[in-house]
C-alpha cells in the first residue's frame, strides 16, 4: 500500500508544480530535504529554501510528466520542463524517508536534432 500512497503524492506534486501551486508542490518534502542540481553544482538545503528558489524563478514553467517509476524509498520521474516555451528533458530522482522526500537530484538535457546517418534504423518519438 505504501507504494500507491507515494505514487499518489508524486502525482499531486507534479500537478501542483505545473499549476505553480508552491505550497502543494513542496508539501512532499521533509523540512530538512536536500535538492541537488549536479549540472550547475548547486545544493539547496531545507524545504523552505527549495520552495523559495522555485517561487522566485522568473520564467514561465510547465511540467509534462512522461513516466514515473519506483518502489520503496527510490522514485524516478521523467518529464519535460518547459521554461518560457523552451523544453528541457528532465529526470528527477527522489529518495523518500517515511512518507516525505529527503533528497532529490535533478538532471536537465536540452533537445537536439537527430542524426540523419542513423535514420534507417530508428523511429521518431512523440515527445
pLDDT, tens digit (0-9, with 9 covering 90-100), for 44-55: 999 999 999 999
> Any idea which residue has 502543494 for its cell?
24
Supply the pTM of this predicted model.
0.91
79: pLDDT strictly greater than 80 = yes
111: pLDDT strictly greater than 90 = no
Q: Residue 102: what pLDDT?
A: 98
Rounded Cα distance between 17 and 90, Å, is 14
Torsion sign across C-alpha atoms 38, 39, 43, 48: negative
Q: Residue 66: what pLDDT?
A: 96
Which grid coordinates belong to 5? 500512497
Mean pLDDT over the full length of the chain: 95
Helices (H) and strands (E) in the chain, counts: 3, 6
> For 13-27, what is each residue's pLDDT tens digit?
999 999 999 999 999
Q: Phi, psi at residue 32, to the nearest 5°? A: -100, 25
| Domain chopping of the chain, boundaries | 2-111
Architecture of domain 2-111: Roll (3.10)
Q: What is the mean pLDDT of residues 79-108?
A: 96
Rounded Cα distance between 101 and 95, Å, is 6
Which comes out higher in pLDDT, residue 126 or 95?
Answer: 95
1: pLDDT strictly greater than 80 = no
Is 38 in contact with 67 (CB distance < 8 Å)?
Answer: no
Q: Residue 127: what pLDDT?
A: 60
Rounded Cα distance between 127 and 106, Å, is 19
126: pLDDT strictly greater than 80 = no
Amino acid at each position: 500500500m505504501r507504494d500507491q500512497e507515494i505514487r499518489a503524492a508524486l502525482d499531486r506534486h507534479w500537478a501542483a508544480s505545473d499549476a505553480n501551486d508552491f505550497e502543494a508542490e513542496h508539501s512532499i518534502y521533509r523540512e530538512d530535504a536536500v535538492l541537488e542540481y549536479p549540472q550547475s553544482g548547486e545544493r539547496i538545503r531545507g524545504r523552505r529554501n527549495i520552495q523559495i528558489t522555485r517561487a522566485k524563478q522568473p520564467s514561465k514553467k510547465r511540467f509534462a510528466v512522461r513516466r514515473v517509476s519506483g518502489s520503496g524509498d527510490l522514485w524516478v520521474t521523467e518529464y519535460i520542463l518547459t521554461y518560457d516555451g523552451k523544453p528541457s528533458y528532465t529526470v528527477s530522482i527522489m529518495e523518500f524517508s517515511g512518507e516525505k522526500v529527503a533528497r532529490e537530484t535533478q538532471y536537465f538535457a536540452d533537445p537536439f536534432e537527430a542524426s540523419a546517418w542513423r535514420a534507417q534504423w530508428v523511429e521518431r518519438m512523440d515527445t
